[in-house]
Structure 1
Amino acid sequence: MFLKSRQIPIAFALISILFYISFAYDLLRTDYIKLISLYAALFFLFYKLIQSNTPDLKFLTGIAILFRLVFFIATPNLSQDFYRFIWDGRMILEGFNPYLHTPDSFISSGQFPIAQAQELYEGMGSLSAGHFTNYPPIKQFIFMIAAVFSGKNILGSVIVFRTFIIAADIGTLYIGTKLLERLKMPLHHIFWYILNPFIIIELTGNLHFEGIMIFLLLLSLYLLHLDYWKTAAIAFALSVSVKLIPLLFLPLLFQYFKKNKNELPSEEKSENLNLSTLNLKKLIGFYAIIGWTTLLLFMPFYSSEFINNYSKTVGLWFSTFEFNASLYYIARQIGYVLTSYNQIGLIGKFIPILTILIVISLTFFRKNTTTIQLITNMLLAITLYYFISTTVHPWYLATLLILSVFTKYKFPLVWSFVIILSYLAYSTTQNIENFWVIGLEYLIVYSVFIWEVAIKKDHQKAVS
């Protein structure tokens, strides 16, 4: 009976597994025709699976885990970052502070401080090898655990990383469902994230740790919704200590802690307290817990040299690195016309300023008092930040996608499909981007974004 009633979904799932196997074990990122064909097919099957199994959450959960297990012993084929992860973890085991040394500084002088140093150095590429690590302490802790359990086995480290990432995705599924239930939203919406081929390939397949950061961020939002703000602050700090991007959201919480009395839990309404003082204390306490927890996690690596190295490395994302950008590429071209030089150094200085102005505007000129409003503004903040960024790697979109699950917006889902076009830059050994392809990607994304955020809203008002 079970098989008979689910023949078509099971067929979709089995075909998806075959495509994922091909993606994981028989694909080179330079083979862009196969890459895009497989991805498009997987995305179509993903859509059909959710469409035909909306109420069957157990079935969708089962195949989501099964799809991830397909990649379990696969070496990432679209990203080299995992080689640096292994390098950092083994450096810690050898007693080195990974924030104080670049791989280049050892290899160029003929030193091999860790097992398979040369192989890892060649695998990570010259860009990573020439810079100090920018990975926060929770990631470094996971790198170290992988080094402990895998010894000199690179695949062993990959398996440890993947275990953490899959576990985080399962946690996101559980907490995400709980939050959707609390917000009285359809529970199956979480599968637009969990079953998305983009998430499965970029996180489980290519070992990007956004999934762990997202689980901790979502846990923080869920705890905040329940008004467990102290525990939520710790979860938020842990999220920051995986990836720094949640720091962008901190100002948005200002209004969230200034709820009116009718929005507070009943037990808090009954207390004879000054409401504004109480909420100000909560806000300051929330920020303080995040700050101190984050500082404590970074403390084992602290030194004056660490601060200098880390700040310089983070600054590279604004002033040196370029990939899959949109508005920045237009500004860069204008700079070329006016000065004949790449003005990334100058343009990059304005990006943090513009980002701050965007977040401040969303903080004080839009409502942020409910959880849905807060998440919506978080989505808009990070979207606009990526629109002006110099570097937008595909896996960055994972945060947009999880936030969109709790909003009315679908443009991150569209972007998670067309982002595969950015990999066409790797179709040649020179890794040259095709600006016509990038233009097509952003034409689609901006069109859907403008329709959903501006035109659709006004159209609905006019009709009503």
Structure 2
Amino acid sequence: MSQKLKQLLIPFIWLLMGVGFFSLAYIIPREAFWLNFLIYSSLFAGMLGVYFLRNQIYWKWIFIGGLLLRLSLLTAIPSWSDDYPRFLWDGEIVKMSQNPYLETPEDWLQNHPERTSLYLENLFELMNSPAYFSVYPPLNQAIFYVAALGADLDTKSGILILRAILILGEIGVFFILLKLFEHFQLSSKKLILYWLNPLVIMEITGNLHFEGLVLLLLLASLLAIVKQKDGFSGAFWGLSIGMKLLPLMLIPTFFSFHKTRKSIAFWIGSALAMIVSFSWLLIDDSWTYFFQSLTLYQGKFEFNGSIYYLLREVGFWIKGYNVIGEITPILSGISLLGILYFSWKRKPENSIQLIDLWVLIYLFYLVLQPVVHPWYLIPAFGLSLFTDKKAFLIWTFAVIFSYQAYSNSTYQESPVFLFLEYSILALGIYWDYFKTTKSQIPT
């Protein structure tokens, strides 16, 4: 393709991406699966078009383009997820100097009729989990509180504040990725695959999920490691756990990595960060309700599972009922054993090998889970850009098939679409871990 034609195509791709994101965020309901799939696929193709057509990267324009795509969603009401009412509810409860972990929204409305407002009643009606205690850690609650302070009992204002915080986090991810690519002497062109990825933009900016902040903190931890600031590295990792609990599963990797295993500063930093993050759960025994909801979540909900669904079908065949309560503890045990085994077996010798191990652990964990919401992929996908692995990039496309469940009123998942998603992922896993063996890049 001639350079002139490439120069003509790039502005056209940017224009189509702008229209595509605007359509997904403001116009097309999530129930219209095939239309969403078509636009999402076009956005993914547009991202790849920018990636492959750009020989010389002008990062200022890539950054501005991706930022404008995010800012175009600024006033949109989240359309692919209904988690945000709980975010705003918890923030409002904290603003009233009450503990968000002690009562379910249902109980709160019954027990505090004198403090109920039309705003809270509207949030309650929009909520997807009014009968459950909050599962969001205290660092999340702090962000919800900031949104509640600025929202002044207005849903759109609360959404706007949450979105602004997440966009600031995304800006941080962009520049830390760029800095780490330079440090590792890797092609920074890969940053396009994150910055323009439709899953990243829709699920973080569009639907207000906090995995972008988790990635930001994990990247900050890595940056501190390469700069030999072990205390800060531990602190950022600890804060990532405070944002979402999942990075806790990376702890065996720090014991197997020589730079952190015997670093007192790293462990002190991580311990202090986790104390700051979780000590609030000691107030009024909040931790009991918090972990009760986590246990219920693990033993009751299911969405977009893979291996779990296969085992569930075997359970139906043998016992005649859903054996989720029996399967999930087994899968959790297998996940733990797998994480310990990979950490012991691989023993990363440099930062790139450490990141590669993290990506493998995330992959192993997610394919065993009964609930795999699309935004769960984002931290591992961002980390995978430092490796030669393509499975998570492929999965950020294939996961769109999980949204087929929203095309019907009962949210019934289709085995055909699940098979499509995980067949595509399986090909990526085969290519990454069984077909090719590539040398690691030293740090």
- TM-score, normalization by structure 2: 0.94
Q: How far apart are the structure 2 equivalents of 1:58 and 1:7?
A: 19
Q: Give the letter for the 2:124 counterpart.
A: Y
Aligned to 2:127: 124
Instruction: Show structure 1 runs of 5+ residues with no match.
Output: 260-278
Aligned to 2:12: 11
Aligned to 1:306: 286
Q: What is the CA-CA distance between 1:293 and the residue it aligns to?
A: 2.0
Aligned to 1:269: none
Instruction: Show structure 2 runs of 5+ residues with no match.
Output: none
Q: How far apart are the structure 1 equivalents of 2:261 and 2:210?
A: 33
CA shift digits 1:14-39 (9 cap, x unpaired): 11111111111101111112111110
**Contact kept? 1:106, 1:112, Cα under 8 Å:** no
SS of structure 2 residue aligned to 1:241: helix
**Contact kept? 1:94, 1:114, Cα under 8 Å:** no
**Contact kept? 2:238, 2:270, Cα under 8 Å:** yes
Aligned to 1:274: none
Aligned to 2:317: 337
Aligned to 2:192: 191
Aligned to 2:72: 70
Q: How does 1:127-206 map to 2 (within 5 A)?
A: 128-206=129-207
Aligned to 1:223: 224
* CA distance 1:30–1:93, change in 2 (3 Å): same
**Contact kept? 2:32, 2:407, Cα under 8 Å:** yes
Q: What is the CA-CA distance between 1:298 and the residue it aligns to?
A: 2.4
The reply to whether residue 348 of structure 1 matches residue 328 of structure 2 is yes
**Contact kept? 1:112, 1:118, Cα under 8 Å:** no
Q: Aligned residues, how many? A: 434
**Contact kept? 1:220, 1:232, Cα under 8 Å:** yes
Moved more, 173-182 or 49-58: 49-58
Aligned to 2:249: 248
**Contact kept? 1:97, 1:301, Cα under 8 Å:** no
Q: What is the CA-CA distance between 1:112 and the residue it aligns to?
A: 6.7
* CA distance 1:286–1:113, change in 2 (3 Å): farther
SS of structure 2 residue aligned to 1:170: helix
Q: How far apart are the structure 2 equivalents of 1:203 and 1:142?
A: 14
Q: What is the CA-CA distance between 1:84 and the residue it aligns to?
A: 0.3
CA shift digits 1:59-89 (9 cap, x unpaired): 2111110100110010000111000000000
Q: How does 1:42-61 map to 2 (within 5 A)?
A: 42-54=43-55, 55-61=57-63
**Contact kept? 1:253, 1:368, Cα under 8 Å:** no
SS of structure 1 residue aligned to 2:340: helix
CA shift digits 1:345-371 (9 cap, x unpaired): 111111221111111111111131211
CA shift digits 1:308-362 (9 cap, x unpaired): 1111112233211100000000111111111111111111111221111111111
- Pick from 77, 88, 91 the counterpart of residue 89 of structure 1: 91
- Pick from 407, 410, 413 the counterpart of residue 430 of structure 1: 410
Q: What is the CA-CA distance between 1:114 and the residue it aligns to?
A: 4.8
Q: How far apart are the structure 1 equivalents of 2:144 and 2:284?
A: 23
SS of structure 2 residue aligned to 1:303: helix
* CA distance 1:107–1:304, change in 2 (3 Å): closer
* CA distance 1:59–1:346, change in 2 (3 Å): same
**Contact kept? 1:332, 1:344, Cα under 8 Å:** yes
Q: What is the CA-CA distance between 1:291 and the residue it aligns to?
A: 2.5
Q: Give the letter for the 1:413 counterpart.
A: L
CA shift digits 1:370-426 (9 cap, x unpaired): 111000010000101011101000100101210111000111111000101101101
CA shift digits 1:80-125 (9 cap, x unpaired): 1000000000000111110111101133568374541111011112
Q: How far apart are the structure 2 equivalents of 1:53 and 1:73?
A: 31
**Contact kept? 1:332, 1:342, Cα under 8 Å:** yes
* CA distance 1:132–1:202, change in 2 (3 Å): same
**Contact kept? 2:401, 2:421, Cα under 8 Å:** yes
Q: How far apart are the structure 1 equivalents of 2:284 and 2:327?
A: 28
Q: How far apart are the structure 2 equivalents of 1:300 and 1:421?
A: 39
Q: How far apart are the structure 2 equivalents of 1:56 and 1:161?
A: 30
* CA distance 1:104–1:152, change in 2 (3 Å): same
Q: How far apart are the structure 2 equivalents of 1:168 and 1:71?
A: 15
Q: What is the CA-CA distance between 1:8 and the residue it aligns to?
A: 2.1
Q: What is the CA-CA distance between 1:451 and the residue it aligns to?
A: 2.0
* CA distance 1:5–1:39, change in 2 (3 Å): closer
Q: How far apart are the structure 1 equivalents of 2:108 and 2:246?
A: 30
Q: How far apart are the structure 2 equivalents of 1:379 and 1:108?
A: 45
Q: What is the CA-CA distance between 1:194 and the residue it aligns to?
A: 1.4
Q: How far apart are the structure 2 equivalents of 1:112 and 1:226?
A: 54
Aligned to 2:21: 20
The reply to whether residue 393 of structure 1 matches residue 373 of structure 2 is yes
Aligned to 2:300: 320
**Contact kept? 1:317, 1:390, Cα under 8 Å:** no
Q: How far apart are the structure 2 equivalents of 1:238 and 1:110?
A: 33
SS of structure 1 residue aligned to 2:436: helix
Q: How far apart are the structure 2 equivalents of 1:60 and 1:280?
A: 38
**Contact kept? 2:233, 2:269, Cα under 8 Å:** no
CA shift digits 1:155-201 (9 cap, x unpaired): 10111111111111110110111111111101121221111011001
- Structure 1 segments (4+ residues) deviating >3 Å: 3-7, 107-110, 112-115
Q: How far apart are the structure 2 equivalents of 1:351 and 1:312?
A: 19
Q: What is the CA-CA distance between 1:248 and the residue it aligns to?
A: 1.0
Q: How far apart are the structure 2 equivalents of 1:351 and 1:51?
A: 40
